[in-house]
Every structure is written in C-alpha cells, then in structure tokens.
Amino acid sequence: MSRIGNKPVIVPDGVTIELAAQAMTAKGKLGELSMAVVDQVEFSHADNQIVVTPKDQSKVSRSMWGMQRSLAQNLVTGVSEGFVKELEIQGVGYRAALQGKILKLQLGHSHDIDFPIPDGIKIECERPTAIKVMGIDKQKVGQVAAVIRSYRPPEPYKGKGVRYVGEYIFRKEGKKK
C-alpha cells in the first residue's frame, strides 16, 4: 500500500492542470511542463487537488501509484516555485565563472572546463566558489548539478572538489611516518 500515493497533490493558485488520456500538463508562472501518464493509474482533478488512484490491486499498478503521484507533485512544484541545487567549490585555485551561456570551471586540471548551460536551466555564480543551478524540471536540475559535481568530486583526504551545499564528506587520515 502506497503511503505517498494516498496523499493528494495540492494545486496552488496560478497553476492550471490539464488531464488528457495519456498526458498531464501543468502551466504556471514559471512555465509549462507535461508528463506521460501510465495506464495502471487514474488521475482525477477537483477542488485544487489531484488524486491518484490505482486502476486495480495488481503489483504493477500499486508500484506505479506512488511514482506517478511524485511526478505530478514535481510538475506542480516546478511550474509554481521551481527547483534549486546549490554547489560549493573548495580548493586552492578552484573557481567558477559565467561567460554568457557557458560556465567556466577551473578545478585543478591542466585546462579549464567549459560547461554549456542547457535550455531550461539557469545558473548563477554569486561568488567564485558558489554555483546555483535553477530550473522548473527537477530531473534536469539534478542532472546538471550532478554533471558539474562529477568534474571534480570531493576527495576524502583534504576535502577539495565540488560538493553540494550541506553535503557531508567522510574524511580519511593521511599516511603516517
């Protein structure tokens, strides 16, 4: 029994929801998103709430129930508030800067890394060691932040690298004489 699927998705003011046969579309102040709806669940929209229910009690429909509810919640949150991932850079000489639609990263390699910013994503660098990735699609925001982090993940001895804000890095003791 899905505990996530039991909760209805609350639709805030300013967001319109359209339910078609195999798609759900949400429009809000930040943009428009749509997602495919699987056959195993049913969506109903009334009183500023979206209720997701499984069509039957099969294992597949019950497993899709909570996932489809989470995806619907991400659609509504994305078009109303948006999503943000914050990264911080630690290390001597490590920094980031924006040049138009390109994020320039200096992460201790012999070359600078030029990361082209994809459509639908906005990146801000308030300081040379802080990166903020913003957008309305949760999956895309998380993917872009993960790709930026993968260029120099934090290492366990000195903690140098790109990390999420608030991420705990397990530190190891260096070699002894």
What confidence tens digit (pLDDT) does each residue in 95-137 have? 999 998 999 999 988 999 999 999 989 999 999 999 999 999 9
Residue pair 124/132 in contact (Cβ under 8 Å)? The answer is yes
Q: Can you list the domains of the chain with their CATH numbers?
A: 3-80 (3.90.930.12), 83-164 (3.90.930.12)
Q: Which structure tokens are listed for 164? A: 């999420």
Residue 94 confidence (pLDDT): 92
DSSP string of 53-72, one letter each residue: EESSS-HHHHHHHHHHHHHH
Q: Which structure tokens are listed for 138? A: 């949760």
CA dihedral sign, ordered 163, 166, 168, 169? positive
For the CA atoms of the chain, what is the radius of gyration?
21
Residue 47 confidence (pLDDT): 86
Rounded distance between C-alpha atoms, residue 144 and residue 36, angstroms: 22
Residue pair 106/95 in contact (Cβ under 8 Å)? The answer is yes
Rounded distance between C-alpha atoms, residue 123 and residue 170, angstroms: 28
**pLDDT digit string, tens, across residues 105-115:** 999 889 999 99
Q: Model's pTM, two decimal places? A: 0.85
For the chain, residues with pLDDT lower than 50 are none
* Residue 6 CA: distances (Å) to CA of 54, 69, 131, 171: 10, 9, 36, 41
Torsion from C-alpha of 62, 63, 68, 74, nearest 10 degrees: 130
Residue 39 confidence (pLDDT): 86
| 26 phi, psi to nearest 5 deg | -120, 130
Residue 2 confidence (pLDDT): 63
